[in-house]
Amino acid sequence: MPTVAVLGGGSWATALVKLLSDRSDRVYWWMRDAEAVAHIRQFGHNPRYLSDVQLDLQKVVPCESLQEAIAPSGMLVLAVPAAFLKSALQGIRPEQFHNKTIFSAIKGIVPQDNLIVGEFMHTTYGIPYDRIGVITGPCHAEEVAMEKLSYLTIACQSQEHAREMSDLLSGRFIRTNSSDDIYGTEYAAVLKNVMAIAAGICHGLGYGDNFQAVLISNAIREIKRFVDAVHPIARDIKDSAYLGDLLVTAYSQFSRNRTFGTMIGKGYSVKSAQVEMNMVAEGYYAIACIHEMNRQLGVDLPICAAVYNILYERIAPKMEMRLLSEKLT
């Protein structure tokens, strides 16, 4: 089994470190927070996220230095929020990724570049696409931590690398599915966060389950229109990697994007919701990128447009969702 590095300090990073350490000889875990690194070295758990998850420090190596984590690892898992990925990798040279396989567990778009993570790593660091993969759901880190039966989708153009990552993550309560649709699965993972914000806003405004069902059935069609425009290949949008991931993010109590949306619907400002959550809702950053991309694509995205108008144009959620309700079918 290859040596693996996980880059990031949040819930997903913590869950992935635990899963990978169960099947790997060594997992290097890099995070920016030096205090958290020191805490993990001493006590064997993340003090901020999924703190009940106990780690085997004979296998897990917490790192303050990004180079220390990357150098010995043949496989890297990126779990840094997309908005901070560029700054996290600052100072890393393309040759440091030579012959390494990169899997993204990030559900966002790199701002300014308007690129999904796979495209960003290929464009910026010259990593071949057959060495770039995506780890997506439907799956929440919190349920992985509770060892509830969960499913992950591993997407990569190389079946060998997809199988390698699947073997590392599969276990007693984790099932894996494979896909070669790295574009569709990653863009769908980005968009489902936006749709979850919309679902949360409607929940905060007092809309019921009947309306939510219509909203999400429209949302999956909206996702299909966008991913087909970006990367038109044959794909079944009803697969777990697309529809399943959307459903769990739109409905789950663990969904930070739904939680963020609910707070907006209840009258919180964007800033106050972010401060109170103390976690990153990827959909907030992603919708600005999607909005900009769609200036060129011209895809019909009424739900995305409504979320953008609420978060960035400061249109009243009640008014915007009433207008959206008249467009849904």
pLDDT digits (tens, 9 = 90+) for 49-98: 999 999 999 999 999 999 999 999 999 999 999 999 999 999 999 999 99
Contact at 8 Å (CB) between 197 and 260? yes
| Residue-number span of the structural domain to which 46 is assigned | 4-180
Determine the average pLDDT of the residues in 225-230.
97
Do 229 and 278 fall within a single domain? Answer: yes
Do 154 and 46 fall within a single domain? Answer: yes
Do 155 and 276 fall within a single domain? Answer: no
Do 161 and 274 fall within a single domain? Answer: no
Q: How confident is the model at residue 102 (pLDDT cuts 50, 70, 90)?
A: very high
pLDDT at 253 over 80: yes
Alpha helices in 146-181 (DSSP H): 159-169
86 noted as active-site residue: no
CA distance 248 to 251: 5
From 150, 180, 210, give the residue that closes a domain: 180
Number of domains in the chain: 2
Could you tell me the pTM of the whole model?
Answer: 0.94
* Cα separation of the two ends of the chain: 49
CA distance 254 to 258: 8
CA distance 72 to 94: 16
Going by C-alpha positions, the residue among 163, 127, 2, 141 that lies closest to residue 72 is 2
Residue 110 is part of a domain; what is its CATH number?
3.40.50.720
Do 21 and 144 fall within a single domain? Answer: yes
- DSSP code at position 231: S
Residue 197 is part of a domain; what is its CATH number?
1.10.1040.10
CA-only gyration radius of the chain, Å: 19
Query: pLDDT averaged over the chain?
Result: 95
Do 206 and 153 fall within a single domain? Answer: no
* Catalytically annotated residue among 18, 59, 86, 192: 192
Determine the average pLDDT of the residues in 182-189.
95
